[in-house]
Amino acid sequence: MTEWTLLKRLLDAVHHHSTMIGRLWLTVMVIFRLLIVAVATEDLYTDEQEMFVCNTLQPGCSTVCYDTFAPISQPRFWVFHIISVSTPSLCFIIYTWHNLSKQSQNSSQKLGKGQSCDSDSCSIQSHKHLGHSLADVLKDLVPPNLQKKDLVNIVPLKQAQAVLSKCYIFHVCIRTILEIGFVLAQWKLYGFQVPVQFLCTSSPCSQPVDCYVSRPTEKTIFLLFMFCVGVFCIVLNFLELNHLGWKKIRQSLKLRENKSWLFKPLCFYPNQPAVYVGGGTDTILSMCSL
């Protein structure tokens, strides 16, 4: 039960820390991938190997033919696909959770709060950020009555937010690469159709053997459906990268930090006067609006 609670909190955190397109991608992954694989394909592929019938009585021939026909079962491939493309998002959210929790403690001390933090209270403070958006977390990190003279004290916090912005863009790029790789792997392994008949010529079969696949039409429908979902997720990833801005992405991937961070407006609250900072500020603002 604890594992499911932690997983739910992680998925909620991914939802809150994503853009609108990123949230749509998460919805598609959960509904059209996770539920389909977990529920719809359970009965369809249960007897897959048992119903793979070959016209031979030679020992071991049917097993080898099935292994040649399906090196990895389609549901297991899709589960591996889901886990792999979800890993970058979960890694990003764990890193964000840890980083913002640490920055909240440091900023509280630097801004004059001077509160001590033992292990238990720090743990509670850290867990508070999980499931909240970056904009909500910034409200906790930066007080509403921030003055210009306090700007120097929060520069490390701004740098940390710039790093989080880069990490978000980087995780979307990795997710896109994984999506493309798995869609190509699915096409290479299974094609676009599950054949009714499979001709096996593998050893130890002494001669070519005809094998027959159970429910090929239904499996073909699921195969095409998962392929279309994969292509749609790739399109969503590219739309999200376009939403983040290709120019800003190229700038965020540079190793050097822009040190001209003065004289650009930054407003934490609508009713508060803007604080003039710059450099990584544009990145921070875009991150807060995710």
CA distance 190 to 77: 11
DSSP code, position 279: T
Q: Is the peptide bond before 88 cis (omega within 30 degrees of 0)?
A: no
Residue 208 identity (one-letter amino acid): P
Burial 163-196 (b: 16+ CB within 10 A, else e): bbbbbbbebbebbbebbbebbeebeeebeeebee
Q: What is the pTM of this model?
A: 0.65
In degrees, rounded to 5, the angle at the alpha carbon of residue 149 between the alpha carbons of residues 148 and 153 is: 105
Q: Which two tokens stand for residue 20?
A: 């609108």
**Strand intervals (E) in the chain:** 53-54, 197-200, 209-212, 262-266, 275-277
Each of the 290 residues of the chain gets a pLDDT tens digit; together they read: 454 455 556 666 666 667 788 888 888 887 888 888 877 777 777 777 788 888 888 888 888 888 888 888 888 899 889 889 988 888 887 777 776 666 656 555 555 554 444 444 443 344 444 444 444 444 444 444 544 444 444 555 556 556 677 778 888 889 999 999 999 999 998 889 888 888 888 887 888 888 888 888 888 998 999 999 999 999 999 988 888 776 566 665 564 444 444 334 444 334 444 444 444 444 434 444 44
- Domain ranges across the chain: 2-259
Closest by alpha carbon to 208, among 73, 48, 58?
58
Residue 163 identity (one-letter amino acid): V
- Provide the pLDDT for residue 125: 44
Topology of the domain comprising 2-259: de novo design (two linked rop proteins) (1.20.1440)
- Provide the pLDDT for residue 57: 81
